[in-house]
Amino acid sequence: MSKKQTKKADGGEKLNYGRTALIGFGFMGCMLMWSVYNSYVPVIFRAKLTELTGGGASLPGFISIALIVNAIMTIDNIFGVIFQPYFGKRSDRTKSKWGKRMPYIIVCLPLCAVFFSLIPVAAIVKSTVLSIILMMTVIIFFNFTMSVWRSPVVSLMPDFTPSHLQSDANAVINILGGIGQMIGFVVGTIATAVVGLLGFTSMQEALKAKTNSLGQILAVDADGNPIIEFLNGATAESLSDKLENFIASGRDVLTVDGVDVAKKVIEIDAQGNPTYVNYTPIFLVSAVIAVLCLVVLIVFYKKNKQYDLSKDVVIEETKEDKPKKIKIKDLPITKEEKRSLIIMLASLFLINNATEAIVPNFTNFALDTLNVKPIYSTLMMAVFAVSLALFGLPAGAMGRKIGRKKTIMLGLGVIVAMFAVYLTVSQVFTTSKTFVWIVLWIALVVGGAAVGCININTLPLVLAIGGRDYVGTFTGYYYTATFSAAITGPILCGLVIGLFNEDYNYMFLFCAIFFAIGLAVISQVKHGEVSKDEDTTWLKEAVENAED
């Protein structure tokens, strides 16, 4: 690649943490919208598709609502693979008074926020068919505009940071991204408080209302419990031993010996239609915060653009500069190393099928199984995310001390065990809801730490197999495996859930099986560890650049 550098900008010998944190506001806005999108869109789509298909009765063969919802949730990964690299390269060759990256961010982040805000608006359109068409339209535009500005916003940090300081800078950016994700997990509570303060009492009550598994608002008695309608001659007295668990559960209909004997009453609007929770305030508050992040970024760039190391660098790409794809069989490494690489990539694919399946299904699982509304189940996801983030440094230290493969295998073993324990407890202790909840919270905390052991060590292990000279090639292999799993994982999990009558408990069974197979596969990897005497500076820099 031919580069002409007309002026050298010096960012200083020490990292400017304040400046770096301000750069991270763009990434914070990105992660905020993604966490809200992944939490609420599956719930909204499930309700609309259930209404359209009569609970899935009109769907053919193995096609289920869960499968369709999970397939929709892979659009962002498909768009990411197709468009993000393209616009990342385009931004490398862009010249403007706002530098290389900012034009894409300034134009597309607000558009992205608008489309994001319209998702729940489209959901409240009365015609179900029109509502789904509108939702799909705005989701496609949201994902496309996000793909346009996501790579440029991530590239801002390297633009403002000398290479020898990018390790610390990347940690700061990830902290800001984590804060954005945490805000996304609690924004439901924030939005509920905001609409209450603005006087929208009915909307605030709807966000906090008891709902069934589809987000329909349940009619409740004076104590706040769902009102029960008894069917086929059943009475409260005849079902006294079953009613308490039924009221506390996320099930909508109580069935005994194959007969429906009770159901929870749904509130009906003036037109006689079931009423659903309107999530517009949550999306709108999130979009406003994301735009405020952009404002911070714009003010930052105007005051600090003199520190942009890339603003005077002109990059011209020639045919010779384009990277050549190298097949694994042509790599100048030993046969045993090639075998370890293939096994590791297969394990990565299996592991990420499991991790990527959890995100789009957790809120529906919590709604069905735990009777927890999305604005509160996202707080449970926040606990998992905090545990994962806090265990990042210990997981890295464990990888150095006992070895990367052993640390990954330990994490996989722990998370499989936690899934098995939760599934067993939830099925056996059906009358002890408190005990099930305690086990679930422990599983979330311990599971977050276990996933940290896996995530922190997989990329370094892959890169170490290839060595210093093949960082780009092996990074490509790594992301091919993980991005492929991000597309197939939700779809396969949705298929399994659908095959078991939309029972979201089987999400954990699906994940446990894939984690367990991944554990068995990775045990056969024989390379990727680096001895204490070997210089690993290159590996640390390669991992940081790959994660950018």
Q: What is the pLDDT of residue 478?
A: 83
Give the mean pLDDT of the chain.
84
Query: For 430-440, what is the mean pLDDT?
Result: 79
**pLDDT-wise least confident of 180-184, 203-207, 389-393, 442-446:** 389-393
Q: What average pLDDT does this structure show over 456-461? A: 83
496 pLDDT tier (thresholds 50, 70, 90): very high
Q: Report DSSP letters for 283-306, one per residue.
A: HHHHHHHHHHHHHHHHHHHHHHGG
Grouping H, G, I as helix, E, B as strand and the rest as coil, residue 320 is: helix
Q: What are phi and psi of 229, to 5 degrees?
A: -105, 130
Q: How confident is the model at residue 312 (pLDDT cuts 50, 70, 90)?
A: low
Q: What is the pLDDT of residue 99?
A: 80
- Other beta carbons within 10 angstroms of residue 288's beta carbon come to 13
What confidence score (pLDDT) does residue 41 get? 95
Residue 87 lies in a domain: no
pLDDT at 541 over 70: no
Length of the chain: 548
Say if residue 232 is in the same domain as residue 358: no
Whether 188 is covered by a domain: the verdict is no
- SS3 assignment, position 322: coil
Is there a domain that residue 301 lies in?
Answer: no
- Indicate whether 430 and 526 sit together in one domain: yes
Q: Between 516 and 243, name the one with better pLDDT.
A: 516
Which whole number is the average pLDDT over 314-330?
A: 58
3-class secondary structure per residue, 526-542: CCCCCCCCCCCHHHHHH
Q: The domain that contains 535 carries what CATH number?
A: 1.20.1250.20
DSSP 366: I
pLDDT at 13: 67
Same domain, residue pair 348 and 424: yes
Tell me, what's the pLDDT at 115? Answer: 97
Give the whole-angstrom CA distance, residue 343 versus residue 530. 18
Residue 106 binned pLDDT confidence (cut-offs 50, 70, 90) = very high
- Top pLDDT among 316 and 527 is at 527
pLDDT range class, residue 546, cuts 50, 70, 90: low
Asked whether 545 and 166 are in contact (CB, 8 A), the reply is yes
Same domain, 379 and 495: yes
Region 61-82: mean pLDDT is 90
Q: Domain for residue 309, yes or no?
A: no
SS3 328: helix
Please give the pLDDT value at position 7: 38
Looking at the fold, whether 233 and 334 belong to one and the same domain comes out as no
Does residue 421 sit in the same domain as residue 522? yes
Can you tell me the mean pLDDT for 332-345?
84
- Edge to edge, the sheet with strand 228-230 lists 228-230, 259-264, 253-256
Q: Among residues 66, 120, 518, which one has the least CA distance to residue 287?
A: 120
Token pair for 197 = 């303060």
Task: Answer with the one of 232, 264, 296 that is the final residue of a domain.
Answer: 264
Locate 61 and state its tokens. 């063969």
Average pLDDT over residues 398-413: 89
The arithmetic mean of pLDDT across residues 462-477, rounded, is 75
The 3-state DSSP class for residue 264 equals strand
Judge if 543 and 401 occupy the same domain.
Answer: yes
- Do residues 369 and 486 both lie within one domain? yes
- Does residue 392 share a domain with residue 534? yes
In the chain, the percentage of residues whose pLDDT exceeds 70 is: 89
For the chain, what is the domain count? 2
* Domain match, 487 and 343 both: yes
pLDDT at residue number 1: 41
**Which strand (E) or helix (H) includes residue 228?**
strand 228-230
Q: Across residues 490-515, what is the average pLDDT?
A: 91
Confidence of residue 328 (pLDDT cuts 50, 70, 90): confident
Same domain, 352 and 477: yes
Query: Looking at 77-91, 426-440, 459-473, 491-505, which range is the least confident one?
Result: 459-473
Q: Which residue has the tokens 């999990």?
A: 493
Three-state secondary-structure class, residue 369: helix
Is residue 498 a part of any domain in this protein?
Answer: yes
Contact 15, 161 (CB under 8 A): yes
Residue 290 resides in a domain: no
Q: Is the pLDDT of residue 122 over 50?
A: yes
Q: Which domain holds residue 244?
A: 219-264
Residue at 393 is within a domain: yes
Mean pLDDT of 524-539: 67
Instruction: Supply the DSSP symbol for 163.
Output: G
State mean pLDDT over 11-22: 77
Q: For 148-158, what is each residue's pLDDT tens digit? A: 988 888 888 88
Q: pTM of the entire structure?
A: 0.85
Q: For residue range 158-169, what is the model confidence (pLDDT) as tens digits? A: 888 877 777 678
248 within some domain: yes
Cα separation, 66 vs 35, whole angstroms? 20
Residues 390 and 504 in one domain: yes
Mean per-residue pLDDT, 285-294: 95
pLDDT mean over 436-456 = 88
pLDDT-derived band at 31, boundaries 50, 70, 90: very high
Confidence of residue 324 (pLDDT cuts 50, 70, 90): low
